[in-house]
């Protein structure tokens, strides 16, 4: 049994896996990290490994402090991955993006894969059918778009995510909702269209905190899974055990 931890920019997600089956899922704040992990290990004493992917500002020692209870594996650029990394600046590629690419490679073999992670930022990561990671794109996520409109203008209000009533916003608030939500939906559909023009035998995976909200609005057929990064950590752990 293993515990996977995804440390993002705004929150931490965790999941317990037994024989590749997700049996428990958690979301908690950064300041609750140690307390949350202790509680999870107490409830699930069969856990033998803690597998971590982090892009947040948490010191490794906070995880290594559990090494007397479980084996701790913090994914890094030096680890073995199931794809060839053709990124021109491989050491600047986020660990979360590498884990997502690994999960796509392992779960969807011998096909072109595009992983879209809709969180604080929206990342696009492409692995071709020959298991070459080629790169992708990064853009602001929904919350960043709302916040930037408020923070960098004098009079636009601070809003939370809401489904626009119509693509024509008939008030300032609904004009913002239309611009932010429809703008991102059109962006994602546009990127998917570009990839589909060049590549066939294609799988699209949508994940991240806003995956379910966006999935209903996209034109393209996608595989939506908000826990894909946690599942990818589990698959990458098995891959590393079998190939180290």
What's the CA gap between 60 and 33, in Å, rounded? Answer: 12
What's the CA gap between 29 and 238, in Å, rounded? Answer: 27
- The one catalytic residue in 6, 96, 125, 210 is 96
Coil/strand/helix, residue 90:
helix
What is the helix (H) or strand (E) element at residue 21, kind and residue range? strand 21-28
Distances (CA, A) of 84 to 103, 132, 189: 14, 5, 27
Distances (CA, A) of 165 to 51, 55, 77, 218: 42, 35, 44, 16
Active site residue 96: yes
Q: What is the DSSP letter of 195?
A: H
Q: Which residues are catalytic?
A: 96
């Amino acid at each position: 049994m293993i515990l996977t931890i995804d440390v993002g920019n705004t929150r931490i997600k965790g999941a317990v896996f037994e024989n590749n089956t997700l049996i428990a899922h958690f979301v908690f704040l950064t300041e609750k990290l140690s307390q949350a992990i202790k509680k999870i290990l107490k409830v699930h004493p069969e856990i033998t490994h803690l597998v971590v992917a982090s892009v947040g500002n948490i010191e490794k020692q906070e995880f290594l402090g559990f090494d007397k209870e479980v084996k701790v594996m913090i994914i890094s650029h030096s680890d073995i991955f199931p794809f060839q990394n053709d990124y021109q600046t491989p050491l600047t590629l986020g660990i979360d993006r590498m884990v997502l690419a690994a999960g796509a490679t392992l779960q969807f073999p011998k096909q072109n894969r595009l992983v879209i992670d809709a969180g604080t930022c929206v990342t696009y990561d492409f692995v071709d059918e020959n298991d070459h990671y080629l790169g992708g794109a990064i853009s602001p996520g929904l919350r960043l778009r709302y916040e930037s409109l408020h923070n960098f203008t004098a009079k636009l209000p601070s809003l939370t995510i809401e489904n626009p009533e119509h693509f024509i916003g008939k008030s300032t608030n609904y004009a913002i909702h239309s611009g932010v939500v429809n703008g991102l939906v059109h962006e994602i559909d546009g990127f998917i269209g570009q990839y589909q023009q060049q590549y066939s035998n294609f799988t699209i995976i949508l994940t991240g905190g806003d995956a379910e909200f966006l999935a209903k609005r996209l034109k393209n057929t996608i595989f939506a899974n908000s826990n894909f990064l946690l599942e990818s950590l589990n698959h990458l752990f098995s891959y590393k055990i079998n190939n180290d």
